[in-house]
Copies of this chain bind each other. A is one copy, B any other.
């Protein structure tokens, strides 16, 4: 049997469905009830009790002191970068292997992404390699770290927790202190992922969550900023809601700001989804075990599992092909998708995209290698009957 046929067979054994998506939301809880309440009361827009409640409950769930919901993760990341002081023509360290939004948010601030290699143990930034690189390339000046090669300030670093697997945040935080970098976490994929007893996104100055339709908890479209910094949270709320000063009637806005609000209608759905995250996580963990079991006798393919000391949300289940079969990745993708089992490669490396080809980067052999070997397989929690 070809490796593609074997992969298809093993996926089918797990999903037991003729046609299955990569990740579909499930709305078996209070979603319809809460959304109906919004429509019946007329509170569908940018002010409403579900907005406040979703913010409170996100803070409580992650252990962050504050949460500010926004229209989507990309916009949330842009605002956070501005708030931590990223300025036009600064550089921001981002993973070479990430969804394009991580780099786009940097450009939306007028700054430049600077790409970092991956750690094979986390799929995210390689912290010790970044440390060595900054010792060579970075120069500490009075207002931060500068890139000796470009003369630009390196203002911040954005670790992204790939498919829910956490970057080594304790190590990254101490690196950031040494090199005087702000840390903004891209936790779009890691709601429900922990390092020890700390939720991802609570290590850096602030973090972004995403509730896009394919995420572990969805609001249709949306995101949130979480932080322990009360001043930053207040500024984030102000900047994402047109910077209007409170007044009985006057429309006085005190700075250039955004309309990045999450409507109450979408927040209502988020509240209902968040109530169910425990069962989603349980199902996704069982699904990971089933894939691991199904591929146990296939030496060329392994399931990427959580490392010791972390608890992973298994947002997208991730196969890692052995190097000797990496050349068959596209055949595996073609065969599985043709058979109705939806699979996806990881993102194109960001520095290979036309708009980011000229950006600064370290050598990225691990990211380059992972980009050829990762395949995501069907990951919806409802694939596990009886849990969700």
Contact = CB atoms under 8 A, between A and B. Distances in A.
Interface stretch (A132-140, A196-204, A348-356): A348-356
B42 A249 contact: no
Given A45-B214, A45-B218, A46-B212, A258 B345 contact: no
Interface of A: 24-27, 31-32, 35-36, 38-40, 42, 44-47, 71-75, 99-101, 103-104, 107-108, 110, 212-214, 218-221, 242-244, 248-259, 261-266, 269, 333-334, 337, 343-348, 353-355
A212 B45 contact: yes
A253 B349 CA distance: 11
Contacts of A264: 220
A361 to B, nearest CB: 17
Nearest to A100: B253
Nearest to A104: B256
28 contacts: A25-B44, A32-B40, A38-B220, A44-B213, A44-B220, A44-B269, A45-B213, A45-B220, A45-B221, A46-B213, A46-B220, A46-B221, A71-B221, A74-B258, A74-B259, A100-B243, A100-B244, A100-B253, A104-B256, A108-B256, A108-B258, A219-B263, A220-B265, A221-B266, A250-B345, A254-B355, A256-B355, A266-B266
A47 B24 CA distance: 12
A342 to B, nearest CB: 9
A35 B34 CA distance: 12
Given A250-B345, A264-B220, A348-B250, A73 B259 contact: yes
A379 to B, nearest CB: 15
Contacts of A266: 220-221, 263, 265-266
A174 B127 CA distance: 59
B251 A99 contact: yes
Given A45-B212, A249-B343, 10 more contacts: A26-B42, A27-B42, A45-B214, A45-B218, A71-B221, A100-B242, A213-B263, A220-B266, A251-B347, A263-B266
A110 B345 CA distance: 36
Q: How many copies of this protein are present in the complex?
A: 2
A232 B49 CA distance: 38
Given A25-B44, A45-B220, A46-B213, A75 B250 contact: no
Contact of A221 (B24, B108, B261, B354): B261
A252 B39 CA distance: 38
Contacts of A251: 99-100, 344-348
B242 A104 contact: yes
Contacts of A242: 100-101, 104
A45 B23 CA distance: 12
Contacts of A45: 25, 212-214, 218, 220-221
A354 B255 contact: yes
Contacts of A212: 45-46
Contacts of A213: 44-47, 263
A384 B255 CA distance: 39
Contacts of A73: 259
Nearest to A330: B249
A238 to B, nearest CB: 13
A343 B74 CA distance: 36
Given A242-B100, A254-B353, A345-B250, A75 B259 contact: yes
A29 to B, nearest CB: 11
Contacts of A244: 100
Residue among A100, A261, A263, A348 having the largest count of chain B Cβ atoms under 10 Å: A263
A27 B46 contact: no
Contact of A337 (B46, B104, B243, B249): B249
